[in-house]
């Protein structure tokens, strides 16, 4: 078991130095053992990050804020639990209508292998290790960062056809829960290229809590209505998209942000019936992307959660602040 406990800023710097000097040893420990990391500042309760056999949990002031499931999952690691500042969870895992919907998840189609659904013919994402685990308190905000290393495996041959480094960074302030999701994809050395595609909703997708279904309202940075794809499904280009709804009777606002460094501007997939869903897509269904061995594909998105109904100006301000980080 690895347990880190640091009190005071100077000792925290020593711990970070220790972690940098012992990267290989730390990665091995984090991959094989249960562990917890705790940082406690002088005047505020710091965040904690703990890992058991199947999940990683980030907590603030003793309350879980994020749960990342990485083992004993049907096909892919995902964020199962993400809360507003007051502690209201917004995510739903494996609902009966779509068992393959898991909270906040990322999946695509690689060559002819579908990594989104969960059938005998679909691929799976296999978490292999954690890297660069860190917790801190900065400007009175709790911060936690970790990297999940993932192999994308083709089901018939059991061959790795894509490798991913997934960096998740959670910042908890008084008013906002903010998660930055960065995925970097690369082909293994023995695969010269792959074609990345998928349905119109493939990408970084979010299934909301059941009580948030149908009763909410979508809005976006450009106030665009979007193009109807089918039913209530719309595809809308914008810098960000937000959803306001009642989560178990409590008003919350959830926004997803696109980053201008992504190779293609985002198109938001939204729907209200028969359930509510939001996804950051890149129109793979219209324009598949060929990833060559000498290149890598890096995608960065933000997810912000507020208590109450957050106005457009506040969301835009948060988006601009995120871009400057």
The answer to whether residues 233 and 270 touch, using CB atoms and an 8 Å cutoff, is yes
How many domains does the chain fold into? 1
Does residue 68 form part of some domain?
Answer: no
Q: In tens digits, what is the pLDDT along the chain, a chain of 325 residues?
A: 223 323 333 333 443 444 444 433 344 444 444 656 654 433 346 799 999 999 999 999 899 999 999 999 999 999 999 999 999 999 999 999 999 999 999 999 999 999 999 998 999 999 999 999 999 999 899 999 999 999 999 999 999 999 999 999 999 999 999 999 999 999 999 999 999 999 999 999 999 999 999 999 999 999 999 999 999 999 999 999 999 999 999 999 999 999 999 999 999 999 999 999 999 999 999 999 999 999 999 999 999 999 999 999 999 999 999 999 8
Does residue 31 form part of some domain?
Answer: no
User: Token pair of 157, please?
Assistant: 């041959």
Does residue 56 form part of some domain?
Answer: no
Does residue 78 form part of some domain?
Answer: no
- Residue 118's domain comprises 92-324
**Residue 321 phi/psi, 5° resolution?**
-65, -40
The answer to whether residues 50 and 74 touch, using CB atoms and an 8 Å cutoff, is no
The answer to whether residues 161 and 285 touch, using CB atoms and an 8 Å cutoff, is no
* CA 311/CA 323 separation, integer angstroms: 19
Does residue 47 form part of some domain?
Answer: no
pTM for the whole structure: 0.87
The answer to whether residues 266 and 258 touch, using CB atoms and an 8 Å cutoff, is yes
Does residue 5 form part of some domain?
Answer: no
CATH classification of the domain holding 288: 2.70.98
Does residue 48 form part of some domain?
Answer: no
Name 145's Cβ contacts closer than 8 Å, sequence gap at least 6.
132, 133, 134, 135, 167, 168, 169, 170
3-class secondary-structure state, position 229: strand
């Amino acid at each position: 078991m690895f347990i880190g406990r640091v009190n005071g800023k100077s000792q925290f710097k020593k711990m970070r130095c220790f972690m940098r000097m012992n990267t290989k040893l730390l990665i091995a420990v984090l991959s094989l053992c249960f562990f917890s990391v705790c940082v406690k500042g002088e005047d505020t309760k710091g965040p904690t990050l703990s890992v058991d056999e199947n999940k990683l949990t980030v907590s603030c002031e003793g309350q879980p804020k994020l749960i990342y499931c990485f083992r004993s999952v049907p096909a892919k690691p995902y964020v199962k639990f993400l809360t507003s500042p007051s502690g209201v969870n917004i995510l739903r895992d494996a609902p009966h209508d779509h068992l393959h919907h898991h909270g906040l998840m990322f999946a695509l189609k690689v060559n002819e292998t579908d990594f989104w659904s969960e059938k005998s013919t679909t691929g799976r994402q296999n978490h292999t290790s954690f890297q660069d685990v860190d917790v801190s308190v900065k400007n009175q905000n709790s911060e936690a960062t970790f990297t999940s290393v993932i192999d994308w495996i083709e089901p018939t041959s059991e061959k790795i056809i894509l490798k991913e480094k997934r960096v998740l960074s959670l910042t908890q302030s008084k008013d906002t829960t903010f998660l930055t999701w960065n995925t970097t994809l690369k082909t293994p050395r023995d695969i010269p290229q792959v074609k990345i595609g998928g349905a119109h909703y493939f990408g970084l997708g979010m299934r909301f809590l059941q009580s948030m279904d149908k009763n909410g309202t979508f809005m976006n940075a450009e106030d665009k209505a979007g193009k109807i794809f089918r039913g209530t499904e719309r595809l809308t280009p914008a810098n960000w998209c937000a959803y306001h709804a009642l989560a178990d009777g409590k008003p919350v606002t959830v926004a997803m942000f696109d980053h201008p460094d992504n190779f293609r501007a985002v198109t938001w997939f939204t729907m209200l019936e028969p359930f509510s869903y939001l996804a950051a897509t890149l129109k793979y269904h219209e324009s598949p992307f060929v990833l060559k061995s000498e290149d890598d594909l890096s995608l960065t998105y933000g997810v912000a959660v507020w208590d109450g109904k957050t106005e457009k100006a506040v969301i835009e301000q948060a988006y601009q602040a995120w871009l400057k980080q």
